[in-house]
Structure 1
Amino acid sequence: MRRRWLFADQLGPHFLDGPRQPVLLVEAKSVFRRRVFHRQKAHLVLTALRHRAAELAGRATFVQAETYGAALRRVDGPIDACHPTSRPARELLRRHPRVEVLPPRGFATAPEEFMAWAHGRHTLRLEDFYRDARTRLGVLMDADEPIGGRWNYDSDNRLPAPKGQPALPVPEPPMPDEDDIDAQVRRDLDAWQADGVRFVGQDGPRLFPATRAEALDRLRHFIEHRLADFGPYEDAMLAGDPWMARSTLSSSLNLGLLDPMEVVAAAEQAYRSGAAPAASVEGFTRQIIGWRDYVWHLYWYRGAGYPRSNALRATRPLPRWFAELDADAVQARCLADVLAGVRDRAWVHHIPRLMVLGNYALQRGWRPSAVADWFHRCFVDGYAWVMTANVIGMSQYADGGAMTTKPYAAGGAYLDRMSDYCHGCRYNPRHRLGPDACPYTAGYWALLDRTRDSLTGNHRMAQPLKGLQRLPDLEAVVAQEHARGSRAP
């Protein structure tokens, strides 16, 4: 039997063919030399890999080496591997004649199924893909119809943050207990830093599952205690509640500790038993077999040039305060809190990513590929396949609308409506000019001014562009934003 090479994002049992299959696990230090990762991300990946090696002791060969190539030279015999999740990893496998590459695992839709769906379509929209996946997989269906007669419950899942509440009334996700493997990883990372390997962000207690047992425990807790509230407040933000009712399972899925279909099955069972409403279960399911699979397949379908897309011609570099997660340099309350969340946890939920971090980058015209790389390196669930479509396509509109119908840009009014950030902030979300002008409100109009030629003809942008033409102080707003430059707001 061939030895199965498990990458560090292929750690669940569904990546193996049986209980006796020999396994290869490789820890390559060069991965962490090439990029400046968040310290907690590096810790999670390494401890998950080492925990899996300990679980498979007796049939696993665990090699710690400087490079993957050096590790392979220390292993004899034929090897196979499930299709990796990045182009560089795929090329690595193709260069080694001893390695047979198998079809991908860890996703609900196979490549040939995605290709069959995409064939002949002028646009590849999430909603169409999601409905096809629901039908094909038989998820949340009553015979041939979606549950409740509706495919989409988005209109029920847009409540703003509850007024006067510092946090949602749901228990926080259970935190893992660190062990001797975690302690050794922390010592090794300290030694690596002394040897010149750089990280960003704060070290801290591990917050995310590193084993399948931990991931299953968090899944059970979410289904029982948090899923019911997931839907209504899916788009809301609270400064005092980083977790809200999110599942916090993205890193477990992306490490391969959980299979997406078992996660969806658990959510559907909660709906069928009456433990969670349709809107919450549908919204969560959409994220797993809809959005997650969708961005995975777009990473491969769009080709190697997609990460360099730059339809809005954004060329500014990431400022140092942002790149280094210097939240203390920021006065805008929303951005300071969210950037601190990245610094301290290597994670914030989807809406702060899109509407605080990505929105600010889009408004300032930062280079999309640099923004995507930052998200890849600084988030525990960040990988090239995750962040390419999420950032290049959705967040930065760098593909010119191939993925979304309009840019995800908004001013301070949106943040004021959907969060409690604007209360106590030195900036006023209603002001676009002056010392208390909200950087998001001013930045929104500066973005429209800079990109109006590219957005003219987009029917969803017609009304905002008309508003731009009527703005009496546009020239002063643009000058103000130009003067701000790369300074932290």
Structure 2
Amino acid sequence: MRRWLFADQLGPHFLDGAHQPVLLIESKAVFRRRAFHRQKAHLVLSAIRHRAAELGDRALHLKTETYREALRRYGEVVEVCHPTSRRARDFVRAQEKVTVLPPRGFVTSHEDFAAWADGRRGAARLDDFYRHARQAHRVLMDGDEPAGGRWQARFADVPRPTELPPPPAPVEDDIDAEVRDDLDRWAAEGIEFIGRDGPRRFPATRDEALYRQQHFLIHRLPHFGRADDMLADDPWLSHSGLSTSFNMGLLEPLPAVRQAEEEFRAGHAPLSSVERFVRQVIGWRDYLWHLYWYLDAGYPAGAHTRGRSSIPDWFATLDAESVHARCLSAALAAVRDRGWTHHAVRQAVLGNYAVQRGWRPTDLVDWFERAFVDGHEWAMIGNVVGMARHAELSAVTTDAYAVSGGHINRTSDFCTGCRYDPKQRLGADACPFTGGYWAYLHRTRERLHGNVRMTRALKQLAQIPDLREIVAQERSRGDDAP
């Protein structure tokens, strides 16, 4: 039977057999309905067209206005692996001639996660799941014990490397040129995009993804996770740059983790860095995916995700020039120019500012999905609602992720040369993240009461003599660009 591959199911592990026929669909309505980052649209279309070229006669490649139109034109029964969004799942389930298979591209199955979570009695925490996954799949285990004797390996006290080779850039070809021409034409027809066009920075084929993965294992894995610093002139630090390849299905997570473990066993990478990579891939990534389906429509819908305002235009359209706060301006410029920032910038700058201002989480999830090349609803909900929303659902983590300008100053070089002072919470020079942090804690103090990680901060809040003036200052600032 012909297998329909979505744009995030493009690897060989989504097929059964070397000769299985494939259906690939480009839906123009997907891009007409919401304004995606131009580079994300390019990556998605380039990946689909490259896959069609690789498969040759095995692939039926349809370019239509909607998925429904393409299925009607094909007219025969197709099968598809479980999609990665609820909207897509509900659509394929409603089609008479579509058979839905179990999901692929993740390590733990839906059934195994549900059985594990059901036994946790409402406390399905990431750390516990990570240990479960390590044991179940025998990753970084020495017998029944974790390698090195600890589930979370400690980093040696060594400085961050001053230079690391960036991930290898893909070489564009005629397919990319065709995609760029099509997107130019669509824009002229009125389809809106955000962000800037630019050279394709992320793999669109499995070969490109494997090459980047191998480069990471050799050059960057030994330093992975050593520091979560945010540096204006180094967008990559020691991050892998593999998130798009995993999320588009070009790479399979468990084999990647096995190769990373081999680097540790061979003495080429320290346990601390390898363990952090393993935690990200089979821990955090799988955890977010399964939580999305396990909690289903209750996540993030409902009272716990309320917000008082939507995202302002300057943020939504990546207008970095209108922003004076250097960290926020640099973060928006990075997304505008690359469609990507690493997780520390997403959480400590972008998500943090949105949380402080009380923007609606559902709008923020939608923005992250559209603005980031690796953005998917299932991944962004956990980060935005779970971490950046102070773990309101309690199922994600107890970590709180609203921070002041002082934290940004300690973990970045953004504050150097900024017009605002991260130590000031009141006045013309007050950092909007510092004043915003205390105003946010004041606004949400009753809801945060009982969060053990916030006990100290809430005690400090009660001792601030000029709190009323800070709250008034941040209220007057509103959603204007800081």
Is the TM value for this pair above 0.5?
yes
CA distance in 1, matches of 2:48, 2:325: 38
**Which residue, out of 347, 359, 362, partners 1:369?**
362
**Which residue, out of 279, 282, 304, partners 1:286?**
279
Alignment check: 8 A CA contact 1:358 1:391 kept: yes
Q: Give the drift of 1:396.
A: 2.0
CA distance in 2, matches of 1:264, 1:447: 39
Q: Please give the residue correspondences for 1:140-179 in structure 2 after superposition, counting only pairs within 5 Å.
A: 140-153=140-153, 156=155, 168-179=162-173
User: Is 1:194 matched up with 2:188?
Assistant: yes
Deviation digits for residues 3-49 of structure 1, max 9, x if unmatched? Answer: 01111100000000011111111111011111110000000000000
**Which residue, out of 306, 325, 338, partners 2:299?**
306
**Which residue, out of 351, 354, 359, partners 2:352?**
359
Q: Secondary structure at the match of 2:80?
A: strand
Distance verdict in 2 for CA 1:433–1:288, change over 3 Å: same
Provide the residue aligned with 1:436 in structure 2. 429
Provide the residue aligned with 2:115 in structure 1. 116
Alignment check: 8 A CA contact 1:312 1:398 kept: no
Deviation digits for residues 345-370 of structure 1, max 9, x if unmatched? Answer: 00000100011100111111111111
Q: Give the drift of 1:271.
A: 0.5
Q: Secondary structure at the match of 2:392?
A: coil
Moved more, 198-207 or 314-323: 314-323
Provide the residue aligned with 1:44 in structure 2. 43
Q: Secondary structure at the match of 1:430?
A: coil
User: Is 1:404 matched up with 2:403?
Assistant: no
CA distance in 2, matches of 1:398, 1:145: 30
Provide the residue aligned with 1:212 in structure 2. 206
Q: Give the drift of 1:266.
A: 1.5
Deviation digits for residues 171-227 of structure 1, max 9, x if unmatched? Answer: 111000000000000010011111111100000000000000000000000000011
Alignment check: 8 A CA contact 2:37 2:370 kept: yes
Provide the residue aligned with 1:65 in structure 2. 64
Alignment check: 8 A CA contact 1:140 1:268 kept: yes
Alignment-mate amino acid for residue 134 of structure 2: R
Provide the residue aligned with 2:78 in structure 1. 79
Alignment check: 8 A CA contact 1:228 1:280 kept: yes
Alignment check: 8 A CA contact 2:339 2:373 kept: yes
Q: Give the drift of 1:400.
A: 4.0
Alignment check: 8 A CA contact 1:207 1:345 kept: yes
Q: Give the drift of 1:407.
A: 2.5
Provide the residue aligned with 1:89 in structure 2. 88
Alignment check: 8 A CA contact 1:252 1:258 kept: yes
Q: Give the drift of 1:457.
A: 2.1
**Which residue, out of 184, 187, 192, partners 2:178?**
184
Distance verdict in 2 for CA 1:370–1:312, change over 3 Å: closer
In the superposition, the TM-score normalised over structure 1's length comes to 0.96
Deviation digits for residues 423-461 of structure 1, max 9, x if unmatched? Answer: 111111111011111111111100000001111122221
CA distance in 1, matches of 2:309, 2:73: 44
Q: Which runs of 4+ in 1 moved over 6 A?
A: none
Q: Give the drift of 1:323.
A: 0.5
Q: Secondary structure at the match of 1:62?
A: strand
CA distance in 1, matches of 2:137, 2:196: 41
Distance verdict in 2 for CA 1:400–1:112, change over 3 Å: closer
Q: Secondary structure at the match of 1:27?
A: strand
Provide the residue aligned with 2:327 in structure 1. 334
Q: Give the drift of 1:285.
A: 0.7
CA distance in 1, matches of 2:393, 2:215: 40
Alignment check: 8 A CA contact 1:168 1:241 kept: no
Distance verdict in 2 for CA 1:158–1:355, change over 3 Å: farther
Moved more, 339-348 or 114-123: 114-123
User: Is 1:276 matched up with 2:283?
Assistant: no
Alignment check: 8 A CA contact 2:305 2:360 kept: no
Runs of 5+ consecutive residues of structure 2 not aligned to the other structure:
none
Q: Give the drift of 1:420.
A: 1.0
Alignment-mate amino acid for residue 99 of structure 2: E
Q: Give the drift of 1:157.
A: 8.4
Moved more, 450-459 or 468-477: 450-459
Q: Please give the residue correspondences for 1:208-287 in structure 2 after superposition, counting only pairs within 5 Å.
A: 208-233=202-227, 235-287=228-280
Provide the residue aligned with 2:14 in structure 1. 15
How many residue pairs are counted as aligned between the two chains?
481
CA distance in 2, matches of 1:305, 1:114: 17
Alignment-mate amino acid for residue 78 of structure 1: V
CA distance in 1, matches of 2:391, 2:280: 22
Moved more, 458-467 or 253-262: 458-467
CA distance in 2, matches of 1:14, 1:306: 29
CA distance in 2, matches of 1:110, 1:424: 49
**Which residue, out of 442, 457, 461, partners 1:449?**
442
In the superposition, the TM-score normalised over structure 2's length comes to 0.97
CA distance in 2, matches of 1:420, 1:95: 51
Alignment check: 8 A CA contact 2:391 2:399 kept: no
CA distance in 2, matches of 1:42, 1:157: 41
Alignment check: 8 A CA contact 2:306 2:361 kept: no
Alignment check: 8 A CA contact 2:9 2:248 kept: yes
Provide the residue aligned with 1:465 in structure 2. 458
Q: Give the drift of 1:406.
A: 4.1
Q: Give the drift of 1:307.
A: 2.4
Provide the residue aligned with 1:31 in structure 2. 30
Matched-pair identity in %: 59
CA distance in 2, matches of 1:474, 1:402: 32
Moved more, 113-122 or 247-256: 113-122
Q: Secondary structure at the match of 2:300?
A: helix
Alignment-mate amino acid for residue 41 of structure 1: K
Runs of 5+ consecutive residues of structure 1 not aligned to the other structure:
none
CA distance in 2, matches of 1:95, 1:421: 49
CA distance in 1, matches of 2:115, 2:367: 33
